[in-house]
């Protein structure tokens, strides 16, 4: 009798920040204002890796462009989630809140 095979993760689950960075580079291309690839940084936290680009400051007298996102790679199943371009600690907290089960009243 054969046993069911567990499903494979969406992508390989990275074990280190370096592995998360390598996985992100293939899926998360962020360009700086000159059109060059922006440097990517990884914040390792309890349930995932937050990958974010750091842009150079805008020229004097101009504002930084708004928008953008960060990528989170789950340490549990390798799933990729995009969160808004918040400061890293806030983006991680938002990701955690999205992963918590929703509680309903009355039961």
Read off the pLDDT of residues 14-38 as tens digits, 9 standing for 90 and up. 999 999 999 998 888 888 878 888 8
Residue 7 confidence (pLDDT) above 90: no
Please give the residue that has the higher pLDDT: either 102 or 17: 17
CB contact at 8 A, 81 and 72: yes
Read off the pLDDT of residues 61-77 as tens digits, 9 standing for 90 and up. 888 777 788 999 999 99
- Average per-residue pLDDT for the chain: 83
- Residue 88 CA to residue 11 CA, distance in Å, equals 23
* Domain-wise residue ranges, the chain: 17-56+67-99
- Mean pLDDT along residues 1-19: 67
Question: What is the predicted pLDDT for the residue at 45?
Answer: 97
Bridge partners of 83? 70
pLDDT above 90 coverage of the chain, percent: 45
Read off the pLDDT of residues 48-59 as tens digits, 9 standing for 90 and up. 999 999 888 878
Bridge partners of 74? 48
Estimate to the nearest angstrom the gap between the alpha carbon of 21 and the chain centroid.
Answer: 10
- Residue 91 CA to residue 83 CA, distance in Å, equals 6
């Amino acid at each position: 009798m054969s046993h069911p095979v567990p499903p494979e993760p969406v992508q390989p689950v990275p074990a280190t920040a370096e592995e998360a960075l390598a996985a992100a580079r293939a899926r998360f291309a962020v360009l700086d204002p000159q059109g060059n690839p922006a440097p990517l940084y990884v914040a390792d936290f309890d349930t995932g890796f937050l990958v974010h680009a750091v842009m150079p400051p805008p020229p004097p007298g101009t504002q930084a462009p708004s928008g953008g996102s960060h990528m989170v790679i789950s340490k549990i199943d390798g799933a990729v989630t995009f969160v808004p371009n918040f400061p890293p600690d806030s983006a991680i907290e938002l990701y955690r809140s999205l992963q918590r089960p929703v509680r309903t009243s009355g039961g």
